[in-house]
Amino acid sequence: MRSISLLLLVAACTSETPATPDRMISVSCDTGIAEFCATDPCDQTLEAAKQDTSLCEPGFPPTLTRCGDFDIVSKSEIDSGASYYYQGGQLVAIIGRVAPSLTRCSAGPPTFSAPRCDATASESLPACAPNAR
- 54-106: pLDDT as tens digits: 998 877 889 999 988 999 999 988 888 999 999 999 999 999 988 777 888 99
Q: Quick: pLDDT tens for 97-131.
A: 887 778 889 999 999 998 887 655 788 889 988 76
Res. 43: pLDDT tops 90: yes
Instruction: Give 132's pLDDT tier (boundaries 50, 70, 90).
Output: low
Ramachandran assignment for 119, one of left (phi > 0), alpha (psi -120 to 50 degrees), beta (any other): alpha
pTM summary value: 0.80
Model pLDDT, residue 13: 33
For the segment 2-27, the average pLDDT, to the nearest whole number, is 51
The closest of 89, 95, 97, 115 to 36, measured between CA atoms, is 95
Model pLDDT, residue 118: 67
Q: Kindly report the length of the chain.
A: 133
Burial (CB < 10 A; 0-12, 13-18, 19+), residue 96, is: middle
Res. 7: pLDDT tops 80: no
Model pLDDT, residue 15: 37
For the segment 37-65, the average pLDDT, to the nearest whole number, is 91
